[in-house]
Amino acid sequence: MELLDQLVSLVGAALILVAYVALQRGWLPRETRAYNALNFFGSALLTYAAVRNWNLGFIILEGAWALLSLPGTIRPTRARG
């Protein structure tokens, strides 16, 4: 099970880092559903890994990150203009 936990946390971290790099490079605006989905799923996976290993500080951080990213993931995209 430890290998699976490590894999879950690596995938979660990769998703968040992809979102961050894409934002910094201008490839993905922060208003997009994709940006918020990358953050939500990445932080949800990291929250799962933190719960499995009972790391309270990390649970709070990643749980909040997931909750804050969720509205941007599920709300309809607004038309510009």
Please provide the DSSP assignment of 36-47 as one string: HHHHHHHHHHHH
Specify whether the CB–CB gap between 12 and 46 falls below 8 A. yes
DSSP code per residue over 51-64: HHTT-HHHHHHHHH
Q: Tell me: pLDDT of 75 over 80.
A: no
Specify whether the CB–CB gap between 21 and 47 falls below 8 A. no
First-to-last C-alpha distance (Å) of the chain: 50
Token readout for 43 is: 């932080």
The single-letter code of the amino acid at 17 is L
Residue range 17-65, pLDDT digits in tens: 999 999 999 999 988 999 999 999 999 999 999 899 888 888 898 888 8
Q: Tell me: pLDDT of 81 over 80.
A: no
